Amino acid sequence: MSVNYASGLSEYENKGVCGLNEIFDNEENLFKKAQQLSKWICESKHCVIYCGAGLSTAAGIPDFRGPNGVWTLEEQGKQLDSNKLQSFDRCRPTFAHRAIKAMIDNGYIKFVVSQNIDGLLLKTGIERSFISELHGNYFLDQCVRCRRRFIRNRPSPTMGLKRTGDNCPNNGCRGYLIDTILDWEQDLPDDELGIANEHSDRSDLAICLGTTLQIEPAGSLPLRVIKKPRNTTKKRKNDHIEMEEKNVEKQHKKEIGKLVIVNLQPTRFDKRASMVINHYIDRLMELVCTNLNLDVPKDDLDSDVTISKSSDLTEWTR
């Protein structure tokens, strides 16, 4: 549960702004925005999704900075009602999680960058080549020796890149496994951040789902879609340095893309977004998938890679 994850983190003061009021678009505006977003998705050549804790609240996992978030209540000296919490192994992917998988399968989404550690996207059967999990995953371990990653059939007993108690199942490796869940101040894994940077640079449509974009460096990645690199050359003339800007219509041009933010609370980048949608993510994704004539499969336990009947650990390759 996110509450256990939060309590397992080291002490850290800068947790961002918590407890902002939620905002809701009315149904008419929601329909219009869903239609526009669907159009942009169809036109996009490289759509990237950025996921935050708000994506998983419908699965029974509390967020951190919402009105009833873990850190919001902590600031108020309150605790979450344990009767309303579900463990990560019991939580199931929501419609939005399954819609993301379906949109990947049908070519609408090219890549997903996630800050979530709950494993819900993994449970949809998403392939590793389509996702970068920057902060780790409770259902993924990594070998310290061969660097292979393995899907667990149970949540990790540790966090903070600690030894989980399992040895690497790769024949001849002789390494041991650690969890992949980051603590404060731990560096993001180079491979996960590198591929997230690559797809962010290529994106022409960035859709942020359920994130306040406060945690760096993940929070700034979506902005790359609206930043056009300046192609400049230094030129010496009469002992002065002049900057000559290349014509943006020429080579190395990168079109400015579109940034869409879907969140119930304001974010620091709302004014820079092409569109802001304030509504439940599941509801929005239902409308978008209807507009795209896209069938979203129901939750299927048989396709859940974290429920392995043959092995406790299954290698996850990219």
Tell me, yes or no, if 135 is annotated catalytic. Answer: yes
Q: Is 168 annotated as belonging to a binding site?
A: yes
SS (H, E, C) 151-178: EECCCCCCCCCCEEEEECCCCCCCCEEE
SS (H, E, C) 53-79: HHHCHHHCCCCCCCCCCHHHHHHCCCC
pTM of the model: 0.84
Nearest to 263 by CA among 282, 275, 278, 285: 278
Given 135, 199, 240, 279, the catalytic residue: 135
Q: How far is CA 73 from CA 3, 19, 22, in A?
A: 11, 8, 15
Pair type for strands 111-114 and 149-152? unpaired
Nearest to 259 by CA among 183, 200, 318: 200
Per this entry, what is the length of the chain?
A: 318
Euclidean distance between CA atoms 216 and 248, whole angstroms: 30
Residue whose pair of structure tokens reads 């003061």 in the numeric block: 13
Asked if residue 224 lies in contact with residue 171, where contact means CB atoms within 8 angstroms, the answer is: no
Complete domains list, the chain, with CATH? 2-135+188-229+253-304 (3.40.50.1220)
Output the six-digit token pair for 27.
């149904």
Give, for all 318 residues of the chain, the pLDDT tens digit. 433 544 444 454 555 566 567 899 999 999 999 999 999 999 999 999 999 989 998 888 876 655 565 556 555 565 666 665 667 778 999 999 999 999 999 999 999 999 999 999 999 999 999 999 999 999 999 999 999 999 999 999 998 999 999 999 999 999 999 999 998 678 999 999 999 999 999 999 999 999 989 888 999 999 999 985 544 333 333 333 333 344 334 434 457 899 999 999 999 999 999 999 999 999 999 999 999 999 999 999 988 999 876 778 999 997
Output the six-digit token pair for 156.
């990790």
Q: Is 146 annotated as belonging to a binding site?
A: yes
Burial (CB count <10 Å: 0-12, 13-18, 19+), residue 81:
exposed
Asked if residue 223 lies in contact with residue 272, where contact means CB atoms within 8 angstroms, the answer is: yes
Q: Is 42 annotated as belonging to a binding site?
A: no
